[in-house]
Structure formats: C-alpha cells, structure tokens
Amino acid sequence: MTPEAEFEELRPLLFSIAYRILGSVSEAEDAVQETWLRMAGTSTEPDSLKAYLSTVVTRISLDVLRSARVRREAYVGPWFPEPLPTDTRVDEHADLYASPERATELADSVSMAALLLLERLSPLERAVFVLREVFHFGFADIAAAVDRSEAACRQLASRARRHMDEGKPRFEADRRKRVELSSRFFEALRDGDIDRLRELLAADVETVNDGGGVAGGSGGRFGAEKAARILVAAVPPLLAIGARLEERELNGEPGAILRDADGAILGTWTLDVLDGQVQRIRSVTNPEKLGHLGPVADLKDVVRRRNRHRRGL
C-alpha cells in the first residue's frame, strides 16, 4: 500500500480526533491536511503509522486550540461547535463501529452538548480525554501525543473524566424515539401548528442560537407556549417563500438544515430530546460556521423577504 493510500485509510480517524479537540470542521480539516504535509516531508518510518499520525494531528490541534481560545473569549453571543452531519458516518473510522453500543457512544461524544462540555477542559485535558475516553488509546501513545509522562496523562484523564461526568448530558436512550419525536416536531413546525408544538416542547424548553453577532438573535429560555409561538412566527413564513427544512442527523442528534429557495444554507438545528419532549433547540446561523455544508445564504436578506411576504408586499 502506498503512503498516500495508508494516510487516506486513517484520514477519517484523524479528522474525528481533530474535530473533537477543536469543535471546528474547517480547522479539523486543516489540521489533517497539515498532518499529511508533515508525513510527506519526513523520512521517518514509524512502527505504528496510526500512533504516529494521531500524535501529529493531536499536537497540531492543540496548537490551534490554544490560539482559538483567545478568539472565543471575544465571541459575540453563544458559541457552538461547527455543525457536523453524522448520518453518513463520514467522520468516523470504519473499524470503530464494531457494535451498535460503540456507534452510540461515538455519536454521543460528538453531540453539541458533549463538545460544549469539552470546552470547559484545559487543552491538555481535552486532548487526553478524547484520545483515552473516546478512542481508547493506551496511555503510552497518549503520553507521546501530548508530550507528557504516562503518570501525568493518567491524572489529566482522571480530572477530565470527573469534570465531564459532573455535567454529562442526558439524552433519550432510544435513538429511534429521538428521531420519531424530531420528525413530529419538524412536521408541526412546517404546518405552523402551535398546539402540537407546545405538546412536544418541555415546559422549560431552551432555544439557543449561535449567530456570531451577525445573523440572528441568541435565543433564551421562553417556556413551551412562548417558544412555540416564536417558532411559528419565524419558520413557516420562510417556508412560504421557498425555504425548506431538510431533516438530518447533526452531531449525532436529530436535527435539520434550513435552506433557502435556491438550496443555500440558512442555518442548522439540533434537538436535545429526553422524556418524550424537546428539552433544548440549538441553532447555528453564523455564516462562518456553515460554509463546509455548502453555499451559504444571506440570512438577513431572506428575513427581509420573509417579512415583506408577511405584510403582503
């Protein structure tokens, strides 16, 4: 097998590591590409190519994460990871899906809620947690990847696991129930049915939007009645001018991509489902976080056209 073929075989795993460390599709793809360049530029023949490349991509990701944290401190409004379609499993290494339980574990580890919890960890804790708890690397390989002793990595892993367990997100255990409820939610939303929406929303439902201060508001905890009315006032009029909701699994959770009449991306939605109700709706409308999904629409222009349509103009 050629070096290029070997690298391509491991590319999904490298991307999966980088995305969980960085929370950014574009930055993860750049980290993987830089890993390839470093591999191509060295005469080193490692005993384990997987371990070698995982070390390289982890170190690159750590460097990027440290600089990204400075930018995130100045970010306007809620910050979410870049949404990642997971219904095709393109982000994972094939041999990681040895069982349905493992598939569920990996999907949950890339959820918006889990990635936001990872944001609470230091860069080193985050890298160690991802390599150990998500991908089950041995401590010898982790120590090499983060340039720390095995003892230090064990301590980092223990501390990170404790922090993650304290805020561990709760999901509906049956993934089919998640999808079924999500479909009912989006059907009611398309129909503009406030009563059906209210029944599907938890009493303290939270709607949160990452617009980066440039596209859409930030949301809030409105309660089922008000949230249902806000949703019906916002979305069905968009659909009336040609927009469409494309139901997708994003970050291991049921969700949708909102497209304009030309198919360009307006935003994404993911739903946290538990106890038969939607507990939280997370949306991303910041155009800088949507380009990897396809052409991005001008949300402000579409909203202006929606408002004109509502006024009959």
CB 210 within 8 A of CB 274: no
Distances 192 to 71, 195, 209, 235 between C-alpha atoms, Å = 38, 9, 20, 8
Quote the pLDDT of residue 70: 78
| Proportion of the chain above pLDDT 70, given as a percent | 94
How is 214-281 classified by DSSP, letter by letter?
TSS--EEE--HHHHHHHHHHHHHHHHHTT-EEEEEEETTEEEEEEE-TTS-EEEEEEEEEETTEEEEE
Confidence of residue 90 (pLDDT cuts 50, 70, 90): very low
How many domains does one find in the chain?
2
Quote the pLDDT of residue 100: 64
**Average pLDDT score, the chain:** 90
Quote the pLDDT of residue 306: 84
Residues 120-140 have pLDDT tens digits of 999 999 999 999 999 999 999
Whether residue 72 is contained in a domain is answered as: yes
The CATH number of residue 56's host domain is 1.20.140.160
Round to the nearest angstrom and report the end-to-end CA distance of the chain.
Answer: 63
Whether residue 107 is contained in a domain is answered as: no
pLDDT at 94 over 70: no
Quote the pLDDT of residue 27: 95
What is the DSSP code (8-state) at residue 291? G
Helix axes 299-310, 224-240, angle to 10 degrees: 90
Could you tell me if 132 and 216 lie in one domain? no
Could you tell me if 224 and 129 lie in one domain? no
pLDDT at 92 over 50: no
Could you tell me if 133 and 255 lie in one domain? no
Give the SS3 label for residue 174.
coil
Closest CA to 91 of 13, 172, 196: 13
Could you tell me if 62 and 194 lie in one domain? no
Whether residue 52 is contained in a domain is answered as: yes
Residues 266-289 have pLDDT tens digits of 999 999 999 999 999 999 999 999
Range of the domain at 194: 175-310
Quote the pLDDT of residue 225: 94
Q: Of 3-7, 41-45, 221-225, where does mean pLDDT reach its minimum?
A: 41-45
What gap in Å lies between CA 170 and CA 167, rounded to an integer?
Answer: 9
Confidence of residue 173 (pLDDT cuts 50, 70, 90): confident
pTM: 0.89
